[in-house]
Chain A
Amino acid sequence: MTQADDKKPPREEKPKKGGSPAKAEEAEAPAPAAEAKAPPGEEAGQAPSGPKWEAELDSYPLREKSEDKRWAVRTVWTWIGVLIVSLTFIMTMLVLGAIHD
């Protein structure tokens, strides 16, 4: 976890191939609006700005898979593998336990 990662500007989601134009526009629309929008509450004469996360509300920052840290992705995949194996084992024990005393 590095500071640099947090400061990287989030990339908006790109429209999927074969998606409808309306959906593509909807996906693209927040990006220019988010970039052009002034931080809320900081326009001339307005009350002090709100919490930091208020500015994040108008974007859903999906990005390319390659932009995620590899170690984080690998950790999660490994853990999900552990979960699946563990759950399979536990369910097998429960089923056998329901049959046998």
Chain B
Amino acid sequence: MNHLDMPLLGAKWAIGSIALFHTAVASLAIGFAFFVTVAQILAYLRRDRDYDILAKKIQLIHVCIYNIGTINAIGLVFLLSGLFPQFWGQIFNQFFWPLIVEEFLFFLLATTLTFHYFFWDKLWGHKKLHIVLGAMLTPLFLLQFYIINGLGGFMLTPGAGEAEVSLRLGVWGWDRLGFYNPSFLMLTLHRSFANVAYGSFAVAFIAGVNLYLTNRPRIKEFWAKGGELAFYTGFSAFLSLPLIGYFYAHVLRNEATDAYVNLMWGRGDIVAGGVDWWWLWHILVAAMLGMSLIYFKTTGKTAEKGGGKAIERPFTLPGVMVWAVAFFYVMFYVAMGMVMTWAFFWYMLAFGIGGGLLVRFMLATGGGSPRGVYILIGLLSFMTVILGGYAREASRPRFVNRIAHYDKVFVPEDRQPYLMVDVDPATIPRAERKPEPGGPVNLIRRKCSGCHTLSRVKGHKLSDWGVVVKQMKAYGLKLSREQERTITAHLESGKPY
């Protein structure tokens, strides 16, 4: 055996489980930090202690999970160093200085968080100063996110051409081209908004649980207010995610085709145990959308006692906005159905409507209390974080022989000596590119999946293929005459691909 391994779990699942745990915990920290600031500012503007006490409670949980997340991250680094030393050695050399800055940011975060919580009752005479201290956590978190997403994005989309230059020349310490890789922006946007949504929905979950556990009217009022604010904040961030995800998918289509195919077609580890976990993720998102919209529609107004005029409750959406958002996302899923398959659209519509009906039922049977809704949205949010994290890692091409799968840009045999000894990069012999797999089958798979899934390729009569391929060229598909003839001949023959 020429490398270490983990008993029972194996290296992949050991890294996967500790990484998913880290995702669940660390993402919560970022979301909590933002929510606490929102709650504190609201409390100060309204002189309402409910939101201030809520912020303090959430910040206490944040202090605990920050510590847990830090220890867990150290464990993740230990595992990666031992189980994937070549990958870890390379990426830490390539991005050494940003990681040093990242470490410094973690120190700033931990200290700021500690001061903010433990000085809470000592600064009532300087309340604005205290709020500013807590507010500093959000830009600190976003900065450390900015840095780690440079590495995270590079791991999935190293960038054709640029990364090859970086790795071949041997960039140490700071690799600008590798850092600002094609998926960096989308990954940063997606994770930032997703963490705010996740953290806020987690606060709603906590509020929901406490609404079940208490009978005291004043405490119930406290948790109901907190849950309303948390749900509103979470949903506001949540709305942006499908849009960001759509553009993220476009980037992956061009820059990480293997991962894109695995996600969209259900290949590789995306399908495990007979379940397409990426589709399940989308189903949960659609259900959350439906649930949230019906929650806002139903709880938006409340009648005053004695049958008075209905008044709008705080932290709700006006009815017209609910319908506008619903219409927008139906159109969004129609577009997704056109790109993927219509089955996808019908699944999303069914679960969106189902989620809405479930919330209507829960509000009706709960006497109007949204506690069940808060708990459910928190659970679904947690599941989307876990499934999303799993899908991202499972969509990568599989590790082969425990070497990082950068077979278009990374040449392990050449890289190893460069990392270990003082070698002039110009003297490293250039490795030959592996040829693209040939044949009509591979040509069809590569060329016909740029804009839609392969399932669309199946829907035509054999005699129509000549016209269809010409139509695809008119739509922008780049094919040489030879490639066009090969593809058309294979499709007209009815042979499988």
Contact = CB atoms under 8 A, between A and B. Distances in A.
B47 interface: yes
B176 A54 contact: no
Q: Which of A56, A75, A83 has the most CB of B within 10 A?
A: A83
B218 A50 contact: yes
A86 B11 CA distance: 38
Q: Which of B43, B126, B139, B179 has the most CB of A within 10 A?
A: B126
A79 B133 contact: yes
A19 B436 CA distance: 75
Contacts, number: 111
Interface in A45-79: 47, 50-51, 53-54, 56-69, 72-73, 75-77, 79
B101 A93 contact: yes
Contacts of A25: none
B218 A76 contact: no
Contacts of B136: 80, 83
B121 A50 contact: no
B122 A1 contact: yes
Given A72-B123, A101-B177, A83 B108 contact: yes
B49 A68 contact: no
A76 B47 contact: no
A67 B125 contact: yes
Interface stretch (B111-119, B330-338, B421-429): B111-119
Contacts of A57: 49-50, 53, 218, 222
A97 B184 CA distance: 15
A56 B124 contact: no
A98 B179 CA distance: 9
Interface in B176-232: 176-177, 179-180, 214, 216, 218-219, 222
A27 interface: yes
B329 interface: no
B41 to A, nearest CB: 13
B132 interface: yes
Interface string A75-101: 111011011001100100110011011
Interface residues of B, number: 45
Nearest to B52: A60
A90 B106 CA distance: 13
B75 to A, nearest CB: 26
Contacts of B344: none
A83 B112 contact: yes
Interface string B143-179: 1001000000000000000000000000100111101
B62 interface: no
A52 to B, nearest CB: 11
B45 to A, nearest CB: 11
Interface string A25-53: 01100100000000011000001001101
B105 interface: yes
A101 B216 contact: no
Contacts of B214: 50
A35 B291 CA distance: 43
A47 B48 CA distance: 26
Q: Interface on chain A toward B: helix, strand, loop, or mixed SS?
A: helix
A10 to B, nearest CB: 7
A62 B123 contact: no
A12 B123 CA distance: 14
Q: Which of B50, B53, B121, B175 has the most CB of A within 10 A?
A: B121
A66 B123 CA distance: 10
A72 B218 CA distance: 32
B132 A80 contact: yes
Contacts of B115: 75-76, 79
Contacts of A10: 124
A73 B119 CA distance: 9
Contacts of B98: 97
A8 B133 CA distance: 24
B216 A54 contact: yes
A47 B98 CA distance: 58
Nearest to A69: B122
Nearest to A82: B108
Interface in B24-81: 43, 47-50, 52-53
A56 B49 contact: yes
Given A80-B132, A90-B105, A62 B53 contact: no
A69 B466 CA distance: 83
A27 to B, nearest CB: 7
B22 interface: no
A69 to B, nearest CB: 6
B297 interface: no
Given A50-B218, A68-B126, A101-B171, A13 B176 contact: no
B158 to A, nearest CB: 16
A90 B108 CA distance: 12
B218 A79 contact: no
Contacts of B219: 50-51, 54
B180 A76 contact: no
Across the A-B interface, give the 10 residue pairs with the lowest CB-CB distance, nearest first.
A68-B125, A72-B122, A65-B125, A60-B47, A101-B176, A50-B216, A63-B125, A60-B49, A67-B125, A63-B124
8 contacts: A1-B122, A10-B124, A57-B49, A57-B218, A86-B104, A90-B104, A97-B179, A101-B175
Interface of A: 1, 5-6, 10, 13, 26-27, 30, 40-41, 47, 50-51, 53-54, 56-69, 72-73, 75-77, 79-80, 82-83, 86-87, 90, 93-94, 97-98, 100-101
